[in-house]
Amino acid sequence: MLPTKPAVWVGGRVALALLIALPLPASDVPLFPVPLHLVRQVEDPIAGSTAEVDEYCSGNQIITISGSRTAIVDYERRELLEIDRAASTYSIATFDEIARSKAVFDRPRPKKEPAASIAWNTTPLGVTRSRTGRSADSFEITTDKIKVQVAVDRQVTLSRAALDAISGAGYPNKTSDQQEAVARACARRADVPGAKTTGVETYGLPLEQSITFEAGAAKRLTVHNTIVRITNELPPPELLAIPAGAKLVDSRAAQIQKALKELGDVATAPKP
């Protein structure tokens, strides 16, 4: 899971786990035919804190549990359900609603300004031992201002759609060049047994990722995103149910749209 900006979906993925990927065509096989439970730690260098979340990937869903919050991203239904058990509230947003809200924060490029082409250079660093105790292939991916280090577990086999779901690439996000570079590093080599099945390219699981970027003059920040445990457990059923009596509230996407409408109404209101 590697967002373009650290720890954001412009609002968070329950601090990092609500990043949404490509919608799944109904005719395709499930994203995760075998359940995959990931325990992930994300370090925030600005707040100086570390968040731990449980990520359950099963069928066509990714379920993220962080404290009293549960987020269920359903790629078949193309919607996000968020439950806050502490506040006894829940919200529902479609992928399209989220995409429209995110578009607000996309800075349009001036027509005369050409799109910049950024070269990402990938250097293999050899085999390393991850915090899960599993061996992983390590890579350094760099531009002139950003350095990404990623350790890839080849024992876990993912489709490209499943990798995008875990990493947060694709609709309603916009896949970045950085995410594409990481995906290329995760691609299974042809000489690895089982690397290709019926001509379909498969990918390993990014276990450990760090992004170092320039945050100002002579200042750098590094965000660490690490999977510390992998199992095939399913999520506790009681954490997936909407609590009895819970109140339906506006999703964050709906709140953004409502705020924009109110700002628009104020801007167009006649002056006294």
**pLDDT tens digit sequence for 121-162:** 999 999 999 998 899 999 999 998 899 999 999 999 999 999
Summarised one tens digit per residue, pLDDT across range 208-230 is 999 998 776 668 889 999 999 99
Tell me the pLDDT band of 233, cut-offs 50, 70 and 90. Answer: very high
Q: Helix 95-103 to helix 252-268 angle, to the nearest 10 degrees?
A: 50
Question: What pLDDT score was predicted for residue 107?
Answer: 56
Q: CB–CB of 208/153 below 8 Å?
A: no
Beta pairing, strands 247-248 & 61-66? unpaired
At residue 188, the pLDDT reads 84
Residue 199, pLDDT > 80, answer no
Closest CA to 178 of 212, 205, 152: 212
Bridge partners (DSSP) listed for residue 122: 141
The more confident residue out of 205 and 23 is 205
Mean pLDDT of the chain: 81
Q: What is the mean pLDDT of residues 42-71?
A: 94
- Token readout for 266 is 């104020």
Task: Give percent of the chain above pLDDT 70.
Answer: 76
* Percent of residues, the chain, with pLDDT higher than 90: 57
Residue 5 has pLDDT above 60, yes or no: no
- Look at residue 67 in the predicted model and tell me its pLDDT: 94
User: Residue 90 has what pLDDT?
Assistant: 97
Preceding peptide of 270 cis, ω within 30°? no
Whether 263 shows a pLDDT value over 50: the answer reads: yes
**Predicted pLDDT at 15:** 33
Phi then psi dihedrals of residue 190, to 5 deg: -65, -25
Residue 171 has pLDDT above 60, yes or no: yes
Long-range contacts of 15-19 (CB under 8 A, 24+ apart): 15/42, 15/51, 15/53, 15/66, 16/40, 16/42, 16/51, 16/53, 16/225, 17/53, 17/55, 17/62, 17/64, 17/66, 17/71, 18/64, 18/71, 18/73, 18/80, 18/82, 19/167, 19/168, 19/173
Q: What is the pLDDT of residue 25?
A: 45
Backbone φ and ψ for 246, nearest 5 degrees, come out as -65, 145
Q: How confident is the model at residue 116 (pLDDT cuts 50, 70, 90)?
A: low
Handedness of CA 139, 141, 142, 145 (dihedral sign): negative
- pLDDT over threshold 80, residue 178: yes
pTM of the shown model: 0.79
Best-predicted range by mean pLDDT (169-173, 233-237, 256-260): 233-237
Confidence of residue 175 (pLDDT cuts 50, 70, 90): confident
- pLDDT at residue 37 above 50? yes
Structural domains of the chain, ranges and CATH numbers in brackets? 32-108+118-252 (2.50.20.10)
Q: Give the pLDDT confidence of 73-115 residue by residue, as tens digits.
A: 999 999 999 999 999 999 999 999 998 888 776 655 555 555 5
Q: Is residue 10 pLDDT above 50, yes or no?
A: no
pLDDT at 58 over 90: yes
